[in-house]
Amino acid sequence: MAKNDRANFGSKIGVILASAGSAVGLGNIWRFPYETGNNGGAAFILIYLGCILLLGLPIMISEFLIGRHSRANTARAYQVLAPGTPWRWVGRMGVLAGFLILSYYSVVAGWTLEYVVEAVTNKFSGKSAPEFIESFQKFSGNPFRPIFWLILFLLGTHYIIVKGVEKGIEKYSKIMMPTLFVIIIILVACSVSLPGSEKGIEFLLKPDFSKVDSQVFLSAMGQAFFSLSLGMGCLCTYASYFGKDTNLTKTAFSVGLIDTFIAILAGFIIFPAAFSVGIQPDAGPSLIFITLPNVFQQAFSGAPILAYVFSVMFYVLLAVAALTSTISMHEVATAYLHEEFGFTRGKAARIVTGGCMFLGIFCSLSMGPTKDITLFGMGAFDLFDFVTAKIMLPLGGLLISVFTGWYLDKKIIWSEITNNGTLRVPIYKLIIFILKYIAPVAISVIFINELGFLK
């Protein structure tokens, strides 16, 4: 596609919903609760909120302005703005990070499809907590079923990607996001009304700072980047489809708010329910797949039809939330291959889908059949998650903030943030200050501390 006939999102709400669609996904409903559980609860959440405000939002605005100004895929964007410099490697690293995340993320996205089928065929009915644990273990340890769902999920993502930006990404996001929100609210109400749920609420609200160490900071920062889809050029790529009148600061705040709100609500579904049935909060990646089916059974024990309807709706929407995120990751790599190597969009998409299937199979097997094969003590799934969320995304964020704060012409930043002087953005100076000093220092300190140099 030539530079000026690139596709565009058709409406303002489409811009926000598509970006929020990328941000809201398994990161909020699956990863946020288990990271919160593994890192001690409320204190982790507070640090996470700090990371969203201080690092996430300014870096999101950076990605937006880099993407919209260059109107190019993330790797090309740096070539347009900083020709002939090594900055293009920031974009390239982002493409690689997106590709790796898509590979293991699709494994969990595939699990949601299995749970849609279980919900539709009423398999949850009458099961107890230990039975849910056992059936999850059986499923994830099976060599074939998770791979089947992984492949199906990637094919669904592929289908939407080849349909293009406005008809594909925007249309689906507009319907799915609001529906997801409504059902989440209903589930919070159910979960907090379960007997014994108070302990879960306390876990979310009462911080215990004695458990906070450098690992908690790294996890919270990684989760903030992961959840906001930052540090890998995803929102930069989406912003290349934004119109000239999109208010970048407002869009970033809307996306950040929606994303954070949904993550916190997901916490209020999972933990009250987990404590209520005695499931440990640090159960890890399986947490939502064992607690949630339980919530439906217990909350609606007197009305099985409601249990049935809500579980079907929830897993369908979870799959959909995952889909709006997988298409955004897929788009990064597809736009890159299409625009940089001259492949047709279809061929570029096929390469990405095929590559992710290949890597995804290893990740999937590492959750069961090959779980004893490890590197640095981690199987493929955990290793991909660690390297991308805890290293590549924060590193990408660090470089993006340095690029915008120190390298990029301030006139470009000003004209993008204020839409050529037509918008008043009172926090303009604050954004620049954070990008220049706070974000680079904070991310570096967290990295260095975690590597042990300050211990």
Q: Which of 325, 334, 364, 366 binds ligand PFF (CB under 6 A)?
A: 325
Residues making up the chain, counted from first to last? 455
Binding segment for ligand PFF (CB under 6 A), chosen from 47-55, 271-279, 323-331, 347-355, is: 323-331
- CA distances for 80 relative to 67, 84, 220, 406, angstroms: 10, 9, 33, 17
Is residue 313 close enough to count as binding ligand PFF by CB under 6 A?
no
- Considering beta carbons, is residue 28 or 246 the nearer one to ligand PFF? 28
- CA distances for 229 relative to 56, 129, 211, 299, 345, angstroms: 9, 33, 27, 33, 22
What residues between 232 and 251 interact with ligand PFF by CB under 6 A? Answer: 232, 234
- Considering beta carbons, is residue 32 or 296 the nearer one to ligand PFF? 32
Is residue 288 close enough to count as binding ligand PFF by CB under 6 A?
no
Q: Given the structure tokens 């991308």, which residue do they identify?
A: 388
Shortest spacing between CB 310 and ligand PFF, in angstroms: 22
Q: What is the CA radius of gyration of the chain?
A: 21
Residue 29 in contact with residue 321, Cβ under 8 Å? yes
Shortest spacing between CB 313 and ligand PFF, in angstroms: 19
- Considering beta carbons, is residue 140 or 325 the nearer one to ligand PFF? 325
Shortest spacing between CB 424 and ligand PFF, in angstroms: 30
What residues between 36 and 65 interact with ligand PFF by CB under 6 A? Answer: none
Binding segment for ligand PFF (CB under 6 A), chosen from 20-28, 45-53, 206-214, 378-386, is: 20-28
Q: Given the structure tokens 């302005």, which residue do they identify?
A: 65
Binding segment for ligand PFF (CB under 6 A), chosen from 35-43, 287-295, 322-330, 357-365, is: 322-330
Count Cβ atoms below 10 Å from residue 300 Cβ, excluding itself: 17
Shortest spacing between CB 94 and ligand PFF, in angstroms: 8
Which residues share a beta bridge with 378? 375
Q: Which of 26, 160, 176, 236 binds ligand PFF (CB under 6 A)?
A: 26
**Which tokens go with 363?**
């990740």
Distance CA 272, CA 121 (A): 26
Is residue 25 close enough to count as binding ligand PFF by CB under 6 A?
yes
Which residues share a beta bridge with 375? 378
| CA distance between the termini of the chain | 51
Q: Count residues contacting ligand PFF (CB under 6 A)?
A: 16
Is residue 101 close enough to count as binding ligand PFF by CB under 6 A?
yes
Shortest spacing between CB 78 and ligand PFF, in angstroms: 17
Is residue 156 close enough to count as binding ligand PFF by CB under 6 A?
no
DSSP 387: I
Distance CA 287, CA 223 (A): 16
- Considering beta carbons, is residue 26 or 443 the nearer one to ligand PFF? 26
- CA distances for 21 relative to 272, 324, 442, angstroms: 26, 5, 28
Shortest spacing between CB 108 and ligand PFF, in angstroms: 9
Distance CA 397, CA 15 (A): 22
Question: Where does this chain bind ligand PFF (CB under 6 A)?
Answer: 22-23, 25-28, 98, 101, 226-227, 229, 232, 234, 325, 328-329
